[in-house]
Amino acid sequence: MSRYPLMVIGTVAIDSVETPFGAKQEVFGGSASYFSYASSFFIPAELVAVVGSDFPSEYKKILEERKIGLDHLNVLPSGKTFRWKGKYESDLNTAITLDTQLNVLLDFKPQLNQGVEPEFLFLANIDPVLQEEVLNQVKRPKCKLVACDTMNFWITSKKDDLLRVLKRVDLIIVNDGEARQLTGQPSLIKAGRMIQDFGPSIVVIKKGEHGALLFYEGNFFALPAFPLEEVFDPTGAGDTFAGGMVGYLAKQNVLNFETLKRAVAYGSVVASFTVEKFGLERLRLLSLGEIEERYQAFKKICHF
């Protein structure tokens, strides 16, 4: 039997991204790639994902360098890797999707190896049907926390499947636009409470440069974003927020309001590094020492 402290299912992608500061074609991306890279500063995750034969071996090495588990990284030799093309205009909080090519995701049947048991599971942004397939293979309560993310693409195309997943998760991390789209509710406070009624007792709503809200049972917490003068590329901010947050929780292995508040702060700090450079570039230079230093500075700014 293999017990994984943290497991993630999501996309491993090839992205093409345009921001007001430049554009790059065919770079390493994907919700699970960003999540697992960020969580590796706290705990290495086992990655459940699929890529095609065109997936560059140097991208695999980037994950291996962080000790991310790749036993469940499937390669479909006849297929092409998932591709996403997006751009950001002057509002850097909002990604505009230009093209989504599901490719190998269309034939993906995630299968956990025999005897595999995650303690913390993150269902990163991917088809909710695939999130559910992984969830069906995991034993509760041995798996202590199931968390998930999603985006407008899936809320629009697969809302019923997503709502079925939400019934079975403990924590959801979404952005403000997704929270409003999911609930039809303009007030984020009401939206947070409504999403709790869908299933998760813990709801985090990210508001980009305006911080994040945490709803935990009857408790509420709000945190600003770490104040950055310049944001270069917001891609991956959401996934690395989740990676920092859930990675910290898995490392602490404790779930209470105090730990959750700190986890939201760690998620914000890791995401604040991500956006300083293009794609994974900044995280690849990052150390846990820098994360701790910024966390302490953040704590001072927020204290009154």
Rounded to the nearest whole angstrom, what is the least distance from the CB of residue 84 to ligand AMP in the complex?
A: 4
| 104, 116, 121, 126: residue in contact with ligand AMP (rule CB under 6 A) | 126
Closest among 198, 201, 290, 291 to 243, alpha carbons compared: 291
According to the 3-state scheme, what is the secondary structure of 13-44?
EEEEEEECCEEEEEEEECHHHHHHHHHCCCCC
> Which is closer to ligand AMP, CB of 46 or CB of 127?
127
Rounded to the nearest whole angstrom, what is the least distance from the CB of residue 160 to ligand AMP in the complex?
A: 17
Q: Cα angle at 188 between 186 and 194, to 5 degrees?
A: 90
**Matching residue, tokens 């991956």:** 236
Residues 6+ apart with CB under 8 A from 73: 12, 47, 48, 49, 50, 51, 60, 63
Rounded to the nearest whole angstrom, what is the least distance from the CB of residue 200 to ligand AMP in the complex?
A: 18
In 3-state terms the chain splits into helix, strand, coil percentages (rounded to 5) of 40, 25, 35
Q: What tokens appear for 173 in the block? A: 């991390």
Rounded to the nearest whole angstrom, what is the least distance from the CB of residue 166 to ligand AMP in the complex?
A: 16
DSSP string for residues in 194-261: HHHHHS-SEEEEE-GGG-EEEEETTEEEEE-----S-----TTHHHHHHHHHHHHHHHHT--SHHHHH
| 4, 5, 7, 34: residue in contact with ligand AMP (rule CB under 6 A) | 34
Residues between 47 and 76 that touch ligand AMP (CB under 6 A) = none
Rounded to the nearest whole angstrom, what is the least distance from the CB of residue 19 to ligand AMP in the complex?
A: 11
239 binds ligand AMP (CB under 6 A): yes
> Which is closer to ligand AMP, CB of 11 or CB of 183?
11
Rounded to the nearest whole angstrom, what is the least distance from the CB of residue 3 to ligand AMP in the complex?
A: 27
Binding mask 80-109 for ligand AMP (x = CB under 6 A): ----x----------x----x---------
> Which is closer to ligand AMP, CB of 4 or CB of 59?
59
237 binds ligand AMP (CB under 6 A): yes
What's the CA gap between 204 and 193, in Å, rounded?
11
151 binds ligand AMP (CB under 6 A): yes
Residues between 10 and 29 that touch ligand AMP (CB under 6 A) = 11, 13, 15, 29
Residues 6+ apart with CB under 8 A from 166: 148, 172, 195, 198, 199, 200
| 36, 81, 125, 181: residue in contact with ligand AMP (rule CB under 6 A) | 125
Q: Cα angle at 126 between 124 and 127, to 5 degrees?
A: 140
> Which is closer to ligand AMP, CB of 34 or CB of 122?
34
235 binds ligand AMP (CB under 6 A): yes
Which residues make up the interface to ligand AMP (CB under 6 A)?
A: 11, 13, 15, 29-31, 34, 84, 95, 100, 125-126, 151, 153, 235-239
